[in-house]
Each structure stands twice: as C-alpha cells, then as structure tokens.
C-alpha cells in the first residue's frame, strides 16, 4: 500500500516534486553550475521522475535489476558516466539520487504530516529503493572512473615511450622511469611499429633514464631486442651507467649477444657504422 501511495503522489505532484528537487540541486554545494546548466538539469530530472514512476508502477521495490527498472538504470548510468568524466566526485554524483530522496520525503511530510504511522511507512519504503539506486550510481561512477584512469594511463605510456628517427634507417627509443610488464608491452609495440613504418634496420634503446635494472627489467629489454630482430632490425642498448653495469653482472644477466654503449652518442656512432657496412655489403652483392 505504501508503494501505491508514494507513486501516486509522485505522479500527481510531479511538477511540485520536480521544482523542489531542482531547488535542492541549485542550493547544494555539490552541483557544479559551471558544468551543468539549469536546462539540462531540468531535462534529466524530469526524465528520471517519469522513468521512476513508470518502473515502480510495474514492479516492486525489492529488486532494481528487474527489467522494469532498465530505463531508470540506463539514465543513472549515463549521468554517472558523464559526471565521472567531467570531474565530479563520487559524493557529488550520488547526491543526484539523494536530493530526490529529500524532495520526496518533504512531499510526504506535507501530505501525511498528521498521520505519523503512514508517514513512517511511506518514508521507509521510498528510502529503501532510492538508497539502492544511490549505491548503483556510486558503483557506475566508480567503474566509469576506472575506465578513465586506465585510458589516461595508456595515453601516458604512449607519451613516455616515443620512437624517434635519428637517421635514415636508425631509430631511438629513450626509456625514462620504471619498466614493468605493461609498459614493456607498449615499448615493444611502439618500437616494432616504428621499425615497420620507417623500414629501419637499427634501433637504439637508451636506458639512461631507467633508475634501476633488476632481473625483470633485463628480461623485458632482452624480449624487446629479440622482437626487433624478428623484424629484421639490430638493437643497441645505450645509457648503461657503471652502477647498472655492475648490477647486470651481479644478476648474471647475459647481454653478450646485444651491442651496448655507455652513451647515446656512442650508440649513434655505432649505428651509423653499421648502416655504412650494410650499404657497402648491399653494393657488393
């Protein structure tokens, strides 16, 4: 019975409820007036109330995953996703539902203020479903935010592993920061794409900016060198500082099959010599 009374009241007093809800939004510190306009807020709120009333008329309040609540979930998902991308906080996003809850409770108090038993029952009923929708909003926001962060991390990885063409047939890939499995995969992909697009046969991996080299980092470098060789390019590792050289020796990592130089300048000189030798050999053939 409480469900019927509440939904009937929301339908009959929709304009009053909508106005009250928007006023709460405008008065709330959580509303980012610089991002969302009043017209857009009004449209979102009106559509949500219509969808909520329609869903509640055909389903109970126990399970918001039922098909009747599909439109409501879709609207909340769109709002949560957009606000996560616009820089809203989780509490700012969830307040969209909770200010509606406050507006409905005010409407119930006005309607059933002289009937405390009815008011309590109505309030408990509507609070139950809106709390569930508030949690759904938070979960959707968190998922969307994780996707944004992951995309930003991928973009940062791309920016932190530039492939530079130093000379005809010679590429350089300066590495800065810690190397892990995810970043090594990006390094390898960028290098192989660069070799293919420039038809280069010499690639320089400069590790001057890599703070430490352990067994895992060394393995990642060897895998990258091996992948480049499969593409027909030889790799030169430059930027090996004395402490890194000592660490590699202590770890027992075998880099004997890889050409190395202490500086990028030394690696470039070796690369040019390798290119000259290749050109001479091609001319003799």
CATH number of the domain enclosing 254: 3.30.750.24
Confidence tier at 1 by pLDDT (50, 70, 90): very low
Do the domain assignments include residue 283? no
Is residue 2 pLDDT above 60, yes or no?
A: no
- Residue 49 sits in a domain whose CATH number is 1.10.490.130
Long-range contacts of 34-40 (CB under 8 A, 24+ apart): 35/86, 35/87, 35/88, 36/86
Distances (CA, A) of 235 to 142, 185, 219: 42, 17, 15
Token digits for 16?
């009053």
Same domain for 111 and 190? no
* Span 211-226, average pLDDT: 83
What is the tally of structural domains in the chain? 2
User: In this structure, are 136 and 206 located in the same domain?
Assistant: no
| Same domain, yes or no: 97 and 214 | no
Residue 160: what pLDDT?
Answer: 65
Are residues 169 and 141 both part of a single domain? Answer: no
Please give the pLDDT value at position 187: 84
- Would you say 160 and 176 are in contact if contact means Cβ atoms under 8 Å apart? yes
Question: Is there a single domain that holds both residue 199 and residue 248?
Answer: yes
The answer to whether residues 11 and 53 touch, using CB atoms and an 8 Å cutoff, is yes
Average pLDDT of 262-270? 92
Mean pLDDT lowest for which of 32-36, 85-89, 154-158, 262-266? 32-36
Looking at the fold, whether 13 and 106 belong to one and the same domain comes out as: yes
> Which domain does 138 fall in, by range?
2-157
219-251, pLDDT tens digit by residue? 888 888 999 999 999 999 999 888 888 888 888
| Residues making up the chain, counted from first to last | 285
Examine the domain organization and report whether 245 and 221 are in the same domain.
yes
Q: Which residue has the tokens 């609540």?
A: 69
Asked if 242 and 141 sit in the same domain, the reply is no
Question: In this predicted model, which residue has the larger pLDDT, 92 or 192?
Answer: 192
CB-based contacts of 183, cutoff 8 Å, min separation 6: 157, 160, 161, 177
Mean predicted confidence (pLDDT) in 246-266 = 86
Q: What is the pLDDT of residue 202?
A: 95
What is the per-residue pLDDT for 223? 86
Rounded Cα distance between 83 and 66, Å, is 25
The CA distances from residue 200 to 42, 164, 224, in Å, are 58, 11, 15
How sure is the predictor about 29, in pLDDT bands with cuts at 50, 70 and 90?
Answer: low
Query: 193 pLDDT exceeds 80?
Result: yes
pLDDT at 282: 47
pTM score, whole prediction: 0.59
Element (H, E) at 203: strand 202-209
Rounded-to-integer distance, Cα 250 and Cα 162, Å: 30
- Give the whole-angstrom CA distance, residue 256 versus residue 219: 14
């Amino acid at each position: 019975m409480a469900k019927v009374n509440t939904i009937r009241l929301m339908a009959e007093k929709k304009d009053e409820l909508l106005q009250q809800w928007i006023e709460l939004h405008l008065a709330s510190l959580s509303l980012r007036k610089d991002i969302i306009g009043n017209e857009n807020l009004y449209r979102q709120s009106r559509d949500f109330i219509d969808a909520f009333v329609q869903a509640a008329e055909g389903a109970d309040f126990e399970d918001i995953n039922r098909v009747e609540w599909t439109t409501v979930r879709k609207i909340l998902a769109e709002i949560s996703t957009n606000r996560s991308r616009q820089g809203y906080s989780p509490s700012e996003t969830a307040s969209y539902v909770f200010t509606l809850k406050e507006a409905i409770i005010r409407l119930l108090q006005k309607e059933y203020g002289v009937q405390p038993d009815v008011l309590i029952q109505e309030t408990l009923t509507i609070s139950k479903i809106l709390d569930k929708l508030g949690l759904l909003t938070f979960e959707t926001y968190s998922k969307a935010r994780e996707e944004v962060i992951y995309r930003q991390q991928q973009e940062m990885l791309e920016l932190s592993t530039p492939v530079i063409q130093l000379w005809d047939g010679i590429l350089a890939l300066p590495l800065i920061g810690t190397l892990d499995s995810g970043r090594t995969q990006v390094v390898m992909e960028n290098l192989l794409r660069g070799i293919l697009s420039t038809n280069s046969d010499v690639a320089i991996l400069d590790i001057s900016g890599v703070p430490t080299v352990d067994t895992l980092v060394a393995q990642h470098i060897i895998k990258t060198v091996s992948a480049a060789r499969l593409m027909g390019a030889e790799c030169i590792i430059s930027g090996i500082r004395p402490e890194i050289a000592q660490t590699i020796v202590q770890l027992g990592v075998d880099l004997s099959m890889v050409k190395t130089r202490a500086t990028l300048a030394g690696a470039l000189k070796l690369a040019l010599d390798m290119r000259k030798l290749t050109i001479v050999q091609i001319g003799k053939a």
